[in-house]
Amino acid sequence: MSNQILVNYDEVYSKVSEMRRRVQTELFEVNASYRQGRSALNGMDGSANAEMQEAVAASQRKAQVTADTLTKLLSFIDTSTRQVERGEQNIARTFQSANARIMRMGGRN
């Protein structure tokens, strides 16, 4: 059993991009629902309408905060993955360079 972790970077980037689109789509749909709900509330009397409007507004703010948090987490995943990928590329270049030097010197490792 290997102790390696194999990462398909292109797949990670693709999934992060897909998830960002899904978050934005869901947020757009939720906001549309909130607008419809607020529109329906316009027929209610003043005090009930005000309470419901505030409840809807609070819920909408929570949805926005949740979407913002998910977007930040996806950005963190994307940035971290890119850093790991660059690190692996640097390590690979270092080993290739060292191996080339050894081969030029006539040695084998």
Q: Give the pLDDT confidence of 2-51 residue by residue, as tens digits.
A: 677 788 999 999 999 999 999 999 999 999 998 888 888 877 777 778 88
- Structure confidence at residue 103 (pLDDT): 85
Phi-psi region of 108 (alpha: psi -120 to 50; beta: other; left: phi over 0): beta
Give the ranges where the chain is alpha helix by DSSP (H): 9-41, 46-104
Q: pTM of the prediction?
A: 0.72
Which pLDDT band, with edges at 50, 70 and 90, does 1 fall under?
A: low
**Mean of the per-residue pLDDT values of the chain:** 89
How large is the average pLDDT for residues 91-109? Answer: 82
